[in-house]
Structure 1
């Protein structure tokens, strides 16, 4: 009986491990990118059970252990960069002029959540220069507008479809534009933010729809939106920040491809996963809320903030402009196959790089 149960579990682990290797975009394939940590934990538990329960004299027992160990190693390969032993991709900042700092808070509020006071308290406590809210409708906008005296520069797109978006800033925003890149009811926001030092940073805030049985059968819309923005910022001399709820995990094929094509860095590498969803279920959490940036910046800090009633935790990141030290940083590199895959994913939707608003300094 033990052998049958263990063999069945190993079979499921193998399927969960092999499915994401496919380039298929169906939601039930791509969503297997998400629980790599959970799959690795299950594989480790099964490996321990095999060591105690299987008869090593049987030919199949060592094979099961080898297969389980291989799956565990493969899953760990994806998530180890988001653990502390791994080298940091982004350098920790040293002293810099206060005028070259930018602090950004991102928060998916969960539209039915009514704890606006909780979010406003976090904003007033942590004092971000810019905060972006996702899933905000008119009800949320009416209550967040109490912050306008402190954050007079805004971009507002209240929607009732769980894809509303708002940006509030106490730094000037220039050449700002709200776009609907891939879908007519899913906005993205693009602008230049002007630091007190007068340095201008290009910012892009995104919230593409996820592949899921309740949203889209495939990941093509999400993938195309991420990758056209990636291509639009690749190789720029202008400092760049891309942030938002990308409805994808940090270690997925698509997010890694985004990083390769864009050349942007992930401050979580070597520091932790900073899982933001699901706030109510500790055993099912993934890093869905992201901030990527160009080599112009080093990291002041990154923090996951307390729960305020949403199914996401907010994230607070402080970056310091330091072009000299930042030039030594290196992220993922794209090869020819990566560029071909990116073009293939973009071609699946009626969008092109030219559609992305490119704020001009």
Structure 2
């Protein structure tokens, strides 16, 4: 007995994925105060790319009604994606000095120490912020003390060790255990261009299930409460495990009156590293209105699951 294989037309597969793109785009419109809806929200850029591709395919094939649906889907996702490329400046900045920051989730089981130290030496940021620090990474970062004499490193057995390495003297370095998760947050003050700046770095839990989702949001909400009101220049940097399209992220940005340093420079995806520009922007540098962002970019893959993000900031001129 010969069993004939049933061939699935290529167009049928394309129609299936086009339908999924439309469906997920619509689901992602629901407020992300729910664990499942939260997961769908983060892929706005991917929905945008997919809807653009499928729109071109069906426009070429002459299927008008499907093309119309995809045109609507494309415009819907463009509403969220395009504004990321709109520049945000806050007035005249000091052109004589700039503050360079690098943020990198090292990945605790990454052992490519030479790649990371070479990255730091190559970019030579004023301040390096590392996450997922274990004992091995602590030893590696401490070896850079001749370049970064001001260090605060907390290593852990899990993925929530954290570190600040600075060329600039750090004052009032404190370790906080904000939120029910009790994960470490570092805060430090330093003087730059004759102004005191507060730097906060933290690593929020990934929303892998409902419990982690709630703990992540509790951590972020506690962070907001502790920071308000913020009258001095403020920087928050860390793996927040959410994109800027999440309602939970918007609460953090709106209530602290801060903005994302990547605003105006594009998506700048950081995770997973192997996806490059098609990944998710979950590592963030947020700055208060005291700053302008001169430049921001993602760095090369150093065998972590995250890409580094490097920002050059300037303070607004005092009027």
Task: Report the RMSD for the aligned CA atoms in angstroms.
Answer: 2.5
Q: 1:297 offset after TM fit, Å?
A: 1.4
Distance 1:53 1:119, change over 3 A: same
CA distance in 1, matches of 2:177, 2:54: 46
Distance 1:303 1:4, change over 3 A: closer
What is residue 80 of structure 1 aligned with on the other side?
82
Distance 1:93 1:165, change over 3 A: farther
What is residue 255 of structure 1 aligned with on the other side?
249
What is residue 343 of structure 1 aligned with on the other side?
none
Aligned partners of 2:33 and 2:247 also within 8 Å: no
Q: 1:102 offset after TM fit, Å?
A: 2.2
Q: Equivalent residue of 1:290, what SS?
A: strand
Q: 1:267 offset after TM fit, Å?
A: 2.6
Any unmatched runs of 5+ in structure 2?
Answer: 1-8
Q: Equivalent residue of 1:143, what SS?
A: helix
Aligned partners of 2:32 and 2:246 also within 8 Å: no
Distance 1:207 1:54, change over 3 A: same
What is residue 6 of structure 2 aligned with on the other side?
none
Alignment map for 1:136-285 (pairs within 5 Å):
136-184=133-181, 186-195=183-192, 197-213=193-209, 217=211, 219-282=213-276, 284-285=278-279
CA distance in 1, matches of 2:316, 2:94: 10
- Give the structure-1-normalised TM-score: 0.78
Aligned partners of 1:266 and 1:291 also within 8 Å: yes
CA distance in 2, matches of 1:2, 1:313: 35
Among candidates 18, 34, 55, match of residue 26 of structure 2? 18
Q: Does 1:309 align with 2:303?
A: yes
Q: 1:230 offset after TM fit, Å?
A: 3.1
CA distance in 1, matches of 2:225, 2:163: 24
What is residue 290 of structure 1 aligned with on the other side?
284
Distance 1:46 1:178, change over 3 A: same
What is residue 124 of structure 2 aligned with on the other side?
127
What is residue 67 of structure 1 aligned with on the other side?
69
Q: Equivalent residue of 2:158, what SS?
A: coil
